[in-house]
Amino acid sequence: MQTNPRLNIRQVAWSNPVGADLRAAQQAELDARFGSTDHEPGPPPSEADTAVFVVAYEKCSGQPLGCGGLRMLDDTTAEIKRLYVVPYARGSRVASSILAALEAQAHSRGFSVITAEAGSAQSDGRSFYASSGFEEIPNFGPYVGAEESHCYSKRIDSHSASHTAMA
């Protein structure tokens, strides 16, 4: 997968204020979409269980455009969490670039499977994962029995992982 030359994707700490602001914007959007703040089955991701968190910045302006993280599920599996792009930057491959960076990080850390979840009010997220090579799977972990959840999985290896350089 080709990287986006307009972006700098940087690994940052979970506590990074820019990352925290992007996650808050995502949660506000999801609250509005679902009509409730109770739309995430299971515990939210945290610094303790997030192996990698990245923020994508526009190279020219330095504006943060999106973020995403990898939650460790076990020794071989990580879950995409908080993949978000600010509304005005959607459709410009920012999400694909963040996903490529996360796949490369997952591969370099020894994960062979990445999973994801998108809710019933996230048709854009479900389409994104399907078009990014993920297969729909039975709900796993906290999503079992959650009718509004759609779960996905993708195997990664040295051929499928994009080895994206991060700043």
Q: What is the CATH number of the domain that holds 16?
A: 3.40.630.30
pLDDT at 159: 62
Tell me the average pLDDT across 134-145.
Answer: 95
pLDDT at 149: 93
pLDDT at 36: 84
Query: In this structure, is residue 2 part of a structural domain?
Result: no
**What does the block give as tokens for 37?**
């703040």
Domain interval for residue 140: 7-155
What letter would DSSP give residue 45? Answer: P
The total number of structural domains that make up the chain: 1
Tell me the average pLDDT across 65-88.
Answer: 96
Residue type, 26: Q
The answer, yes or no, to whether residue 165 has pLDDT greater than 60, is no
Query: In this structure, is residue 166 part of a structural domain?
Result: no
Q: Strands across the sheet with 113-119, in order?
A: 7-11, 50-58, 64-72, 77-85, 113-119, 149-155, 135-137
Query: In this structure, is residue 13 part of a structural domain?
Result: yes
Beta bridge partners of 85: 66
Considering only CA atoms, which of 85, 77, 29 is closest in space to residue 49? 77
Tell me the average pLDDT across 37-63.
Answer: 92
pLDDT at 161: 54
Count the neighbouring beta carbons within 10 Å of the beta carbon of residue 102: 29
Share of the chain above pLDDT 70, in %: 93
Query: In this structure, is residue 34 part of a structural domain?
Result: yes
Q: Which residue has the higher pLDDT, 162 or 8?
A: 8
pLDDT at 33: 86
Range from 1-5, 12-16, 70-74, 133-137 carrying the lowest mean pLDDT: 1-5
